[in-house]
């Protein structure tokens, strides 16, 4: 187990290093002179030179890379050019919207998809199965941001159960914020739940065809007992993979959905960063997103080992 964890940890660190190099190269090396790019074509040479000094662009590429990485490791993400505040402060505030939204949606998707997928697999070929799979087929095809617009139309504009957007902020208490995140989370979760339910169903059906299920039945377990005691845990292995991948889809989806609901999350920050050519903000937020995805991959790998003993002793 220690060996396995260590090897996953090494892989995590290597991924982070390579990812940071890629991001740094795209943002700071490919444009040539980031300062000139950020200020646009009409900027005076003196302004550009001043910004170059501000950003520390006088130093060599390697030195700048290490300064950037070193800064991030100590919580210093640099200064936003447009907001004139530390990027770390900007990001911290926005993260408390995007991250809860993503996790809320992930929780909803898993809570909905797993039971439904199990039900469909256990009743394979029945009307229930056909109904669930038909709904899932439709759910997979729905773009989450469009679904979000429909939710706004029905639940905010017509029924007035929720507000159409906005975020009160965590200092206003827990429940108002949960309410504000509910429609966005549902919009994000449903298409992913449809995918997850399909995966759960097919993984379980595949597991039910395995020899050890027949062994379990020969021991006297009923079909239901065989599913619960033997098939489920084995079927979770492919499901975990998809849950891990879905985190990154949900995170990306959250960035888009924030636009529909006017949520002050990372999405809004990064799109403002793009329009205002604030490369420092873009660079930091992208690195943060990629870090989150790599971290989740690592956690999923650990979860594998918890589920599957064959991995532990490798």
Give yes or no for residue 9 binding other proteins (CB under 8 A).
no
Give yes or no for residue 212 binding other proteins (CB under 8 A).
yes
Give yes or no for residue 211 binding other proteins (CB under 8 A).
yes
Cβ proximity to other proteins: between 169 and 221 the closer is: 221
Give yes or no for residue 101 binding other proteins (CB under 8 A).
no
**Nearest-angstrom CA–CA distance, 198 and 207:** 14
Give yes or no for residue 172 binding other proteins (CB under 8 A).
no
- To the nearest whole angstrom, how small is the minimum distance from the Cβ of residue 314 to other proteins? 7
Cβ proximity to other proteins: between 29 and 178 the closer is: 29
Ranges within 254-273 binding other proteins (CB under 8 A) = 255-256, 259-260, 267, 270-271, 273
Ranges within 230-249 binding other proteins (CB under 8 A) = 230, 233-234, 245, 248-249
The CB density around residue 182, as the number of other CB atoms within 10 Å, is: 17
Cβ proximity to other proteins: between 108 and 231 the closer is: 231
Of 66, 146, 161, 170, the one binding other proteins (CB under 8 A) is 146
Q: Binding mask 273-302 vs other proteins (x if CB under 8 A, - otherwise)? A: xx--x-x--x---x--xx--xx--x-----
From the list 67-75, 107-115, 138-146, 179-187, the region that binds other proteins by CB under 8 A is 138-146
- To the nearest whole angstrom, how small is the minimum distance from the Cβ of residue 197 to other proteins? 14
Give yes or no for residue 126 binding other proteins (CB under 8 A).
no
259-294 per-residue burial string, b: 16 or more CB within 10 A, e: under 16: ebbebbbbbbbbebbeeebbbbbbbbbbbbbbbbbb
Of 9, 13, 63, 153, the one binding other proteins (CB under 8 A) is 153
Task: With CA atoms as reference, report the closest residue to 119 among 105, 136, 106.
Answer: 136
Q: Binding mask 26-65 vs other proteins (x if CB under 8 A, - otherwise)? A: xx--xx-----x----------------------------
8 A C-beta contact, residue 202 and residue 132: no
């Amino acid at each position: 187990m220690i060996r396995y964890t260590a090897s996953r940890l090494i892989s995590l660190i290597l991924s982070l290093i390579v990812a940071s190099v890629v991001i740094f190269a795209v943002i700071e090396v490919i444009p040539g002179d980031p300062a000139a790019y950020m200020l646009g074509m009409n900027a005076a040479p003196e302004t550009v030179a001043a910004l170059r000094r501000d950003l520390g662009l006088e130093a060599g590429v390697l030195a700048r890379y290490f300064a950037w990485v070193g800064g991030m490791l100590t919580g210093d993400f640099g200064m936003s050019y447009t907001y004139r505040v530390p990027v770390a402060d900007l990001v911290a505030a926005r993260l408390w919207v995007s991250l809860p939204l993503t996790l809320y949606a992930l929780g909803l998707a898993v809570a909905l998809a797993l039971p439904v997928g199990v039900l469909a697999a256990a009743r394979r070929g029945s009307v229930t199965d056909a109904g669930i799979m038909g709904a899932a087929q439709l759910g997979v095809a729905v773009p989450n941001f469009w679904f979000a617009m429909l939710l706004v139309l029905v639940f905010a504009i017509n029924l007035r159960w929720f507000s159409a957007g906005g975020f009160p902020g965590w200092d206003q208490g827990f429940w108002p914020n949960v309410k504000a995140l509910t429609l966005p989370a549902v919009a994000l979760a449903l298409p992913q739940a449809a995918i997850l339910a399909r995966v759960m169903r097919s993984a379980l059906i595949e597991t039910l065809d395995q020899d050890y299920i027949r062994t379990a039945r020969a021991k006297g377990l009923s079909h239901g007992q065989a599913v619960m005691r033997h098939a489920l845990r084995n079927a979770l292995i492919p499901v975990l993979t998809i849950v891990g991948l879905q985190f990154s889809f949900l995170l990306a989806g959250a960035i888009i959905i924030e636009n529909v609901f006017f949520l002050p999350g990372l999405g809004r920050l990064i799109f403002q960063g793009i329009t205002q050519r604030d490369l420092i903000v873009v660079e930091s937020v992208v690195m943060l997103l990629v870090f989150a995805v790599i971290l989740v991959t690592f956690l999923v790998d650990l979860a594998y080992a918890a589920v599957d003993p064959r991995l532990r002793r490798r």
